Structure formats: structure tokens, C-alpha cells
Amino acid sequence: MRSDIVNHSELKNELKNEPKNEPRPKLADSEKITINLGLIDLGQIDLLVSEGFYSNRTDLIRTAIRNQLNTHADVVRQTVARRSLVLGMHHYSRADLEAAQVAGVRLQIQVLGMASIASDVPVDLALATIESISVLGALHASSTLKTALAERIR
């Protein structure tokens, strides 16, 4: 007998042969963040930029972050597998949620990267089909949906 709660990858396998009429929205491939740095650190960054080691502050900061992520890549891989996270960008259309509702399943959205919920998804459909949302990265959804799902977002 089938559980009424499944993760989205199981639903995706069930629905992979269904046609998708809704075009996928164009999504940003980066998210802007703000950091505070000490003046000495900032000065050292500016020195390396002025000496030509990096093209600008952002280049140095991105490089430093990538180097740290590479250092911890094994831990990230193991954690992604252990927590059954989907890597990358995953979009949930109204049709996806309607199909989940028809199938009688509730989604446990777990994404490392970005998850987005289509702007035409009504609150009642989201509440009926989304059991939980855990996104390490960015969640793109209307403020109305985020408010309605707030208790389910971890």
C-alpha cells in the first residue's frame, strides 16, 4: 500500500512521461549576498586586486568560496546523499502540484540550490500538496505562498 507522503523525486518518476505545457521561467543562476569584512581584510583584498591577482573584489571572494567548497566537497556529497537532497534548480509548476494532488501524494521538497514554485499556484493547492520544504540556497515563490507555507519551510 502506498504512503500518502512521498518525496518529489518519486513523484517526478511517476510523472516523467506526462507532457509539460507550462514553459519554465527563466531563473537567475546566482543570488546576491551581503557580507561584512574587517577593514584589514578588505584592504588585503583591494591590494590583491590592484596587483592583478584578481579582476575585482567579487572575483576574489567567489574564488575563495569555491576553494572552500572544494576543500569540503566530500562532506557535501555525503550529506547530500544522506539527506536525499536534489542538487541544482528544481521548478514546481501548477501542473506538477495538480498531478500530485490527483495522485494523492504530498511532496517533501528537499533541494540544495534553488527551488521555485510557479506564480500561478494557488495557496490551497500548495497547502494540499506540499508537506515540507527544505532548501539550502534559495526558494523562489510568491510572498503569499511563502507566508501560507511558513510553518512547513525549514
Domain ranges of the chain: 5-25+84-152, 39-76
Q: How many Cα atoms are found within 13 Å in the side-chain-facing hemisphere of 73? A: 4
Cβ atoms of residues 112 and 86 within 8 Å: yes
∠ at Cα 89 (87, 90), nearest 5°?
Answer: 100
CA–CA dist 15, 71 (Å, integer): 37
Q: CA 127: distance to chain centroid?
A: 19
Most confident segment among 7-11, 26-30, 136-140: 136-140
pTM of the predicted model as reported, rounded to 2 decimal places: 0.67
More confident residue, 17 or 104: 104
Q: Is the pLDDT of residue 1 over 80?
A: no
Sign of torsion over alpha carbons 154, 78, 34, 40: positive
